[in-house]
Amino acid sequence: MIKANFDIPLDFLSAATPPLVGVDISSSSVKMVELSLTPKKTGYIVERYAIEPLPKGAVSDGNINNLEAVSESMQRAWRRLGTRIKNISLALPAATVITKKILLPAGMREEDLEYQVESEANQYIPFALDEVNLDFQVIGPALGNADEVEVMLAASRKANVEDRVAAAQASGLRTVVMDVEPFAAQLAFEQISVQLPDGAVDKCVALVDIGAIVMNVNVLRNGQSIYSRDQQIGGDQLTQQIQNTFGLSPEEAEAGKRNGGLPDNYESDVLEPFRENIVAEITRALQFFYASSQYNEVDFIVLAGGCAALPRLDDAVATRTQVSTMVANPFAMMTLSSRIKPKQLQADAPSLIIACGLAMRRFDPS
């Protein structure tokens, strides 16, 4: 790993770590997950998780706008978690990270590989290298050429990394891993793919993460991303529509969306049109995928994010796309500790996929 440009004590994209908590800082909340291994190390145990709302505007477009508010929410989430572990793994949004797969000669020494990656990085990064955190991972032999290896290059402006580390530090936590959100989601997807027929081997799976503001469509094949696209639609739009239709405050609208109790015409006048918009955007994203790749179909759609659990959204997506669709639950095959309420975890699971992947970094040897 390249560490020469680092001003903070963490390894960008690093994986081998001491016990840690996965922490996902989204635009709407801080989510934390702690996992352990079963006694025979054949599976995971969900030890704890917590979700703490963020004030509106504290995080937007992947940027921390109110560091104090974020650190306070992180502190409350950690206290609610009830753990002693203060080491955490964080992730940067894809929009703040430049990633590029490059090919390099196989068999290079580590120092030569680092030098070559830095040289290659100059071609793809529109900033001076001393302004970015830069790292890489060797993925494996290049397809069809044993003399080359495929390397994933990742770079982000230092401010993006430092803001998250500073928020964690202010809340009393120590960042030991900085990941990238789609990579963390892909790691958690390993726990979802085993729930699909034949483990989805040699199949295209569209992982659709519908957050508060952005919907990310990431098409995976055998665990590798082959297409990714962001669409500007998310749960905040539904909250805004509830506010406008029923004259509620943002807090009342959000509570009604999550807990029910809205007027009888909520389903027909607000939820149904929003659900149709989501379905249309997913269909549109798949059409972009077909137009820009060698594939003309996806085999499965997996819905994640806070909006994934909207009533009958999975059925609506399956009907429109004619693709088998499920709501993500990366914990379905895991053992639950006595602290976990299974029904509540099932409801929260779609929004915890990134935090789950970050928690799994504790056990990832790559």
pLDDT in tens, the chain (366 residues): 333 232 344 455 554 457 999 999 999 999 999 999 999 888 999 999 999 999 989 998 888 999 999 999 999 999 999 999 999 999 998 888 888 888 889 888 888 888 888 888 888 888 887 888 888 888 888 888 888 988 888 888 888 899 999 999 999 999 999 998 988 999 999 999 999 999 999 999 999 999 988 899 999 999 888 999 888 999 999 999 999 999 999 889 988 888 888 999 999 999 999 999 999 999 999 999 999 999 999 999 999 998 998 999 999 999 999 999 999 999 999 999 999 999 999 999 999 999 999 999 988 755
Measured at the CA of 78, the angle between CA 77 and CA 83, to 5 degrees, comes to 140
Q: What is the pTM of this model?
A: 0.88
SS3 state of residue 217: strand
Give the total residue count for the chain: 366
Cβ neighbours for 186, distance < 8 A, ≥ 6 positions apart:
207, 218, 220, 223, 224, 225, 357
Name the CATH architecture for the domain at 197-327: 2-Layer Sandwich (3.30)
Contact 315, 323 (CB under 8 A): no
Residue 132 pairs with which residues in a beta bridge? 157
What's CA 104's distance to the chain center, in Å?
A: 28
| Cα 70 to Cα 22, 24, 25, 28, 42, distances in angstroms | 16, 11, 8, 10, 36
The pLDDT value given to residue 242 = 95
Non-local CB neighbours of 190 within 8 Å, separated by 6+ positions: 223, 360
CA distance 247 to 257: 14
The token duo for 171 is 């809340």
Predicted local confidence at residue 2, as pLDDT = 30
pLDDT for 5: 33
CA nearest to 196, candidates 300, 282, 297: 300
User: For 197, phi and psi rounded to 5 degrees?
Assistant: -55, 130
- Output the six-digit token pair for 240: 């805004």
Partner residues linked to 30 by β-bridges: 25, 52
pLDDT of residue 233: 92
Query: CB–CB of 101/31 below 8 Å?
Result: no
Residue carrying structure tokens 């803001």: 163
pLDDT at 122: 82
Residue 27 near residue 211 (C-beta atoms within 8 A)? yes
The CATH code of the domain at 11-95+161-189+334-363 is 3.30.420.40
| Predicted pLDDT of residue 298 | 97
Domain ranges of the chain: 11-95+161-189+334-363, 197-327
Is-same-fold flag (11-95+161-189+334-363; 197-327)?
A: yes
Task: For residue 100, give both structure tokens.
Answer: 């590029």
Q: Residue 78: what pLDDT?
A: 98
